[in-house]
Structure 1
Amino acid sequence: MRPVGRSGPALAATLTIATTGGLLAVSGAPASAASSCAPPVYKRQFYANTTFSGTPKKTDCDAAVSENWGTKTPASGLPKDNFGVRWTVTRDFGSGGPFALTLAAQDGIRVYLDNTRKVDLWKNVSSTVKKTVNLTIPSGKHTLRVDYANWTGAANVSFAYTPRT
């Protein structure tokens, strides 16, 4: 995992500080409740299921979609099988144009552009499946979402997008 940002026990909570009548009030919110990450960093959410239902067990920021958990659990409190991870980023693609989406996963992976599915390799497999999809992305801001599911066995996933010339 390549988490981005601060870490450590002293920074395990996001603090809100306010003064009221000369008193200092501090309230903490769990770091796992991160709501956004600065582009081009992905917001990453871990689920204890493959349907992405319920509240994520952990949320953080990730510089890249590139993980190899093997047969281990991806995060504390998650099972080693039957888990899901979702990466989301909204960024400005400038004038847009042709991009190559390169992905590899064992087991399932789906890629969405503005909530429209562009890649669907959603099956339990015994080896890593690789694919490159050529896609024209319109100009302006767009949201990319990568959904990954591990049903059984080894877990690995990677996704990248690069301009095509």
Structure 2
Amino acid sequence: MATVIAAAMGGVYALTAEAAVTCAPSMFKRQMFANTSFSGTPLTTDCDSAIDQDWGTDAPASGLPDDRFGVRWSVTRDFGPGGPFTLIASGRDGGVRVYVDGRLRIDLRGDLRGDARGDLPTPGATAVPTPVSAYGPMPVSQSVDLTIPSGRHTLRVDYVNRSGAAEVAFTAVPLSRSGTVSPPSPR
């Protein structure tokens, strides 16, 4: 049985993990895991209109831990005639990976502790250190320009939180004729 958590235009609808979730074509399917390896059954599966979350130091959903959790968003959408796009991801205190049709396009990694503790596992990969201030890990962001062919393509965004403030954002923006875009400002 489905349970509605929030209902607003383009809102988030939370369903039990066992429920079959079908999201509108413009919505991301969001799965929340009580671990950073995305293993097992997601604790919560719902639909999300955008990836732009700031959970602070709280758990993003009831039953999830405040730290050491993973969130995966996915959507298959029609890119029409295709063309150049800029993918922009940002995060704090964890890692963000963006895939297009299963191919890794953005890899924002946390500190070196990440690989040893199972965060965003990649055999043989080396993590990129996260800038750290007196207030904890600073937001990091990355943008990638790529040409997406016409038709339907699958986007997947994986985010892990280790400890502390959890923030993540992602957008895919058509590249303007001038070839520039404005990335979202980190929180």
Q: TM-score, normalised by structure 1?
A: 0.81
The structure 2 residue matched to 1:160, chosen from 155, 161, 171, is: 171
Which AA in structure 2 matches 1:141? R
8 Å CA contact retained: 1:84, 1:150: yes
Q: Residues 35-60 of structure 1: CA distance to partner in whole angstroms, max 9, x if unpaired?
A: 22111100000000011000000000
The structure 1 residue matched to 2:156, chosen from 123, 135, 145, is: 145
The structure 2 residue matched to 1:56, chosen from 42, 45, 56, is: 42
Match of 2:31 in 1: 45
Question: 1 or 2, which has the higher strand percentage?
Answer: 1
Q: 1:31 deviation in Å? A: 7.2
Taking the aligned partners of 1:159 and 1:112, their CA distance within structure 2 comes to 12
Q: Residues 64-121 of structure 1: CA distance to partner in whole angstroms, max 9, x if unpaired?
A: 0000001111000000100000000000001101001111101200000011111111
Taking the aligned partners of 1:6 and 1:87, their CA distance within structure 2 comes to 13
Structure with larger Rg: 1
Taking the aligned partners of 2:148 and 2:49, their CA distance within structure 1 comes to 21
Match of 1:69 in 2: 55
The 4+ residue runs of structure 1 with deviation greater than 3 A are 1-7
8 Å CA contact retained: 1:69, 1:155: yes
CA 1:35 to 1:92, structure 2 compared with 1: closer, same or farther past 3 Å? Answer: same
Match of 1:21 in 2: none
Match of 1:118 in 2: 105
Q: TM-score, normalised by structure 2?
A: 0.72
* Worse-superposed segment, 111-120 or 125-134: 125-134
- Aligned-pair identity (%): 54
What secondary structure, in the 3-state scheme, does the structure 2 residue paired with 1:160 have? strand
* Worse-superposed segment, 34-43 or 59-68: 34-43
Q: 1:160 deviation in Å? A: 0.5
Higher relative CO (Cα under 8 Å, sequence separation at least 6) belongs to 2
Which AA in structure 2 matches 1:72? D
Taking the aligned partners of 2:164 and 2:30, their CA distance within structure 1 comes to 22
8 Å CA contact retained: 2:60, 2:66: yes
Q: 1:33 deviation in Å? A: 2.2
Which AA in structure 2 matches 1:108? G
8 Å CA contact retained: 1:110, 1:120: yes
Which AA in structure 2 matches 1:149? V
